[in-house]
Structure 1
Amino acid sequence: MSEKVAVIGGGSWGTALAAVLNNNGYEVVLRDISEDKVKEINDDHKNSYLPGIKLSEEIKATTDIKEAVKGAKVVVVVVPSHIVRVVAKELKGILEEDTIVVSASKGIEENTHLRMSEILQEELEGKLKHNITALSGPSHAEEVILNHPTTIVVAHKNRKLAEKVQDLFMNDYFRVYTNPDAIGVELGAAVKNIIAIAAGISAGLDYGDNALAALITRGIAEVKRLGVAMGAEPATFSGLTGLGDLIVTCASEHSRNRRLGFKVGSGKKLDEALAEMKMVAEGVRTAKAVHTLASQLEIEMPIVDQVYRILFEDKDPQQAVYDLMIRGPKHEIEYVVDCIEWKDA
């Protein structure tokens, strides 16, 4: 009998990960709170979040979280960031101590500024606190479900635990790397969504490729600045969950955050843009959290600051771009210039 894995969250990403696990030979039970979604998966073997895709009949769904995790050696949490604490409270007391928990949600909790794995660690008990890994990287569900080549990262300071999760997911189209820097992996995954909103706003203003390149490269500088201040390794942000995730989220037609930004850049207010979105754009909530966090840590994040002002203070997007462009002159690589001996021309 194959080993059981529970996936908590029946959105597009949760369903895509469930399909990867099913292809790898695991018994997969997917839990979602929507009875209609569960019925759709069980009866029609499809998920309307992934139109045109036929799911394996072996993937089962339920609304009962206890039923989903019963006997599961691995539990994958793939819900919107603002639901992670709710799910963590539901999981408390119903998991075996040796269960491996994989956090595949992306974001920063608005009031506490905790990463997703930290929320799980705060709510779960005993040895479980040490079994929480983070899974992230440049990976749109719409492509993973089609078995398109994808590379992601699993993060945990315990190498053996990270390698267990690596082996769980890895196959000939889904390549998984390990990284001990969970702080960097999770922050890169969360903050890039804000930069992707900026990329969408730029596209909505019809500013083209030069502006996109600027947003990606200066965006990763902001992500790295915050990450290092919070204890992350700088090298992580040059990898899959830093620059890789930022590129795919800023440039792809599948990106929810870019799509939302495009609507705002095209003239819609935030409420109007959100009303037209079928799925959650995590960058909106994350923008609030990171804007506050940057202020508290006294970190300069000008792109994040302008996105926050556009979304929540109704600032004109064109004015925001103008204000970014006329800032005082800067050295490109701030953390290197102090070590450089400049010579007179």
Structure 2
Amino acid sequence: MKIALLGAGAWGTALAIAFAGRHEVTLWSREDDVAVDLVKTRENHRFFPGHRLPDAVRVETDFAAAVAAAQLLVVATPIAGLRPTAERLKQAGCTAPLLWVCKGFEAGSGKLPHQVIAEVLGPQAVCGAFSGPSFAEEVAAGQPTAVTLASRDHRFAVETARQLHTRRLRVYANDDLIGVEVGGAVKNVMAIATGVCDGLGLGLNSRAALMTRGLAEIARLGVALGAHRDTFMGLAGMGDLILTCTGDLSRNRRVGLALAANKALPDILNELGHVAEGVYTAREVERLAHELKVDMPISLAIAAVLDGRVSASEELELLMARDPKEEAA
């Protein structure tokens, strides 16, 4: 299959490496210097150092040329880049099936990725989310990984999952697109919360409680948006939550650790050097929780900390002081 990966950041490069063994892969870079580096050294020193790009992967800076013959498009940009990329696809007249790997709600609109794609490319677009517990570094290294490919087009999900599936990258088809997207988005907020918890030295009991109650929040919001509750027990729900909250490679967890050390958010993001989607997602989740009247105390607490309305330690005390309630509530 001819695959065009749109975005030469960490994830675009990692997937190009992972797919190159079985597919004809083109990696499009928006940044000319990154493309030159990839062609010259076969390494993405700026965004993904230490991983060699196979010689078979074609690197492009010409967007139209990159997508012209593609049988599958994979948008590997942050959520902020999804709409501009979709608009370029529309301008290019490209109608190939589309996947995205970004996780979050679009800033300002609060839209999920599938809503952005439908708005730009139309509801007829064949598309889906590629999500689940996965760090780009481990995918590129060929370490065993399992992910979900979710689409409302069941046949597309099943067939594309079959084609992308390998012995090292297991791909499971799913038809709950909203659930997979919500799980992938809100777990980043919970990872910030877990980082704060760990940074304050509150112990493993606290971490377990935070993750468990965080999963309940994710499910509540997902169901309110039309997702299936069972989805949050799978790879894109519990699986992604566990990895992002506990893995040292998690950018969002590192944000939480730094917040616990009383570092300023702009400094944290500058030092990180990559996008931490949970920072932007928290604000949209807070707005949606109020709009839909969904109880999400952990998410709202993190939004308050990120906005500088309260310190991490103060917000923790407020969370722990909440009235007792039934676990299933």
2:3 corresponds in structure 1 to 5
Greater displacement, 215-224 / 46-55 = 46-55
Could you tell me whether the CA contact under 8 Å between 2:67 and 2:94 is conserved in 1? no
2:107 corresponds in structure 1 to 110
- Please give the secondary structure, in 2, of the residue aligned with 1:66: helix
- Residue 59 (structure 1) aligned to one of 26, 35, 57: 57
Unaligned runs of 5+ in 1: 335-345
Report the Cα distance in structure 2 between the residues aligned to 1:96 and 1:113, rounded to whole angstroms: 26
Report the Cα distance in structure 2 between the residues aligned to 1:198 and 1:66, rounded to whole angstroms: 41
1:194 corresponds in structure 2 to 189
1:72 corresponds in structure 2 to 70
Report the Cα distance in structure 1 between the residues aligned to 2:225 and 2:193, rounded to whole angstroms: 23
- Cα 1:230/1:125, change in 2 over 3 Å: closer
1:126-181 deviations in Å (ceiling 9; x for gaps): 74x2x011110000001011100000001112221001220231101000111110
Could you tell me whether the CA contact under 8 Å between 1:69 and 1:95 is conserved in 2? no
Report the Cα distance in structure 2 between the residues aligned to 1:21 and 1:188, rounded to whole angstroms: 25
- Please give the secondary structure, in 2, of the residue aligned with 1:318: helix
- Please give the secondary structure, in 2, of the residue aligned with 1:276: helix
Q: Please tell me whether residue 31 in structure 1 is matched to residue 28 in structure 2.
A: yes
1:17-45 deviations in Å (ceiling 9; x for gaps): 11121122x11111121111111111111
Could you tell me whether the CA contact under 8 Å between 2:128 and 2:149 is conserved in 1? yes
* Pairing of 1:325-336 with structure 2 (within 5 A): 325-334=320-329
Report the Cα distance in structure 1 between the residues aligned to 2:247 and 2:108, rounded to whole angstroms: 30
Report the Cα distance in structure 2 between the residues aligned to 1:298 and 1:229, rounded to whole angstroms: 9
Report the Cα distance in structure 1 between the residues aligned to 2:145 and 2:9, rounded to whole angstroms: 19
1:70-115 deviations in Å (ceiling 9; x for gaps): 1101100110111111111111042444x11012111101222111
TM-score, normalising length from structure 1? 0.92
1:280 corresponds in structure 2 to 275
The one-letter amino acid paired with 2:48 is L
1:159-216 deviations in Å (ceiling 9; x for gaps): 2100122023110100011111000000000010000011111122122211111111
* Pairing of 1:71-150 with structure 2 (within 5 A): 71-97=69-95, 99-125=96-122, 127=124, 129=125, 131-150=126-145
Could you tell me whether the CA contact under 8 Å between 1:45 and 1:57 is conserved in 2? yes
Report the Cα distance in structure 1 between the residues aligned to 2:214 and 2:167, rounded to whole angstroms: 32
The one-letter amino acid paired with 1:104 is V
Shift of 1:117: 1.9
Q: In terms of Rg, which structure is larger?
A: 1
Shift of 1:272: 1.5
Q: Please tell me whether residue 306 in structure 1 is matched to residue 301 in structure 2.
A: yes
Identity %: 39
- How big is the alpha-carbon RMSD for the aligned residues of Structure 1 and Structure 2? 1.2
Report the Cα distance in structure 2 between the residues aligned to 1:296 and 1:276, rounded to whole angstroms: 34
Report the Cα distance in structure 1 between the residues aligned to 2:191 and 2:89, rounded to whole angstroms: 32
Could you tell me whether the CA contact under 8 Å between 1:151 and 1:175 is conserved in 2? yes
Report the Cα distance in structure 2 between the residues aligned to 1:226 and 1:170, rounded to whole angstroms: 30
- Please give the secondary structure, in 1, of the residue aligned with 2:111: coil
Unaligned runs of 5+ in 2: none
Report the Cα distance in structure 2 between the residues aligned to 1:8 and 1:95, rounded to whole angstroms: 16
Q: Please tell me whether residue 225 in structure 1 is matched to residue 220 in structure 2.
A: yes
Could you tell me whether the CA contact under 8 Å between 1:121 and 1:132 is conserved in 2? no
Report the Cα distance in structure 2 between the residues aligned to 1:294 and 1:126, rounded to whole angstroms: 26
1:285-307 deviations in Å (ceiling 9; x for gaps): 10111100101111110000110
Greater displacement, 309-318 / 233-242 = 309-318
The one-letter amino acid paired with 1:315 is V
Greater displacement, 58-67 / 186-195 = 58-67
- Please give the secondary structure, in 2, of the residue aligned with 1:23: coil
Q: Structure 1: which 4+ aligned runs deviate by more than 6 Å?
A: none
Could you tell me whether the CA contact under 8 Å between 1:20 and 1:169 is conserved in 2? no
